[in-house]
Amino acid sequence: MMLLIPGDPLRPRRPDEHFAPEASAAREAGLTVAVVDHDALARSDGADRAVAAVPAGDTAVYRGWMLRSEQYGGFVDALARRGVTLRTTVGNYQRAHEFPGWYPALTAVTPRSAWTTGTDRTDFDRARRALDAGPAVLRDHVKSMKHHWDEAAFIPDLGDADAAWKVANRFRQLREDDFVGGFVLREFEDFTSAEVRTWWVAGRCALVGPHPDTPHDRPPQRLDLDWLTPLVGALNLPFVTVDLALRADGAWRVVEVGDGQVSDRPNSVAPSALIAALVGEPG
């Protein structure tokens, strides 16, 4: 297995500083590490140039910045032209990265949600009415605007159509060109713990650590994940993260799923631990 990492924009042959610790850990574990050009991947015609430094003929895993699903597809195709197979297909990536992909498998353990395709108000109102009145949290198919909680994430009452639409518009404005897919509305649940980020390789939980927002909040020592394993297994994805939070009634809940290749690793999780988790399974 080979590890692909974004290059430093200023010194393109070196790994981007954010991912350099994982690159070093991978080399120490005996993996080949190659850099790709993230900016070129993000352009519609840049994928072949982006992967020009990747050696031919191996299976690869990416660890880098988020890509839109269509950009990831271009990445997969450009690598295939060099005889390199990304372990995560574009369909796999989209299913983990975008809300409508993973939600159906996890409905029993995640806040009840409804979403739109696109940004028109009629569809938004349909999604809004599909949920119970009361508080909700807004995101798009990929991300929230949690740092703008009151104006662009939290909706105090889904029964107030105009107020909800105002939050959606502000969200849209702040997401700018990063907006993906449509609006997702989620019934609010009272979470009382820091989030735990769990890392799953081939359906098995290979690593448990804090969420990057709370890197020093250690997860509980004995976290029972037996309830979650069959649900993640049913997703049938090679490498995903599942973020969990404890609800006020004592139930662990799934906050979101992400593709493991583009999920941020907090500094408090050793890069060698993540690489070991990744190579623990056959490539």
- At 265, the amino acid letter reads R
- Nearest in space to 84 (alpha carbons), one of 72, 94, 73, 76: 76
Residue 162 sits at φ, ψ, to 5 deg, of -70, -40
Q: How far is CA 76 from CA 22, 60, 241, 268, in A?
A: 21, 10, 20, 31
> Which residue lies nearer to Mg ion by CB, 88 or 263?
263
Report yes or no: 4 and 59 within 8 Å, Cβ to Cβ: no
Footprint (CB under 6 A) of ligand ATP, residues 134-153: 137, 139, 143-144, 146
Report yes or no: 207 and 269 within 8 Å, Cβ to Cβ: yes
41 binds, among Mg ion, ligand ATP, none (CB under 5 to 8 A by kind): none
Strands 252-259 and 239-246 come out as: antiparallel
User: Is residue 243 at the binding interface for ligand ATP, with CB under 6 A as the rule?
Assistant: yes
> Which residue lies nearer to ligand ATP by CB, 180 or 276?
180
User: Is residue 35 at the binding interface for ligand ATP, with CB under 6 A as the rule?
Assistant: no
> Which residue lies nearer to Mg ion by CB, 2 or 241?
241
Stretch of 15-23, 86-94, 189-197, 216-224 contacting ligand ATP, by CB under 6 A:
189-197
Footprint (CB under 6 A) of ligand ATP, residues 253-272: 255-256
Report yes or no: 141 and 98 within 8 Å, Cβ to Cβ: yes
> Which residue lies nearer to Mg ion by CB, 2 or 254?
254
Question: Smallest gap, in angstroms, from Cβ of residue 221 to Mg ion?
Answer: 23
Q: Which residues bind ligand ATP (CB under 6 A)?
A: 111, 137, 139, 143-144, 146, 186-189, 191, 195, 243, 255-256
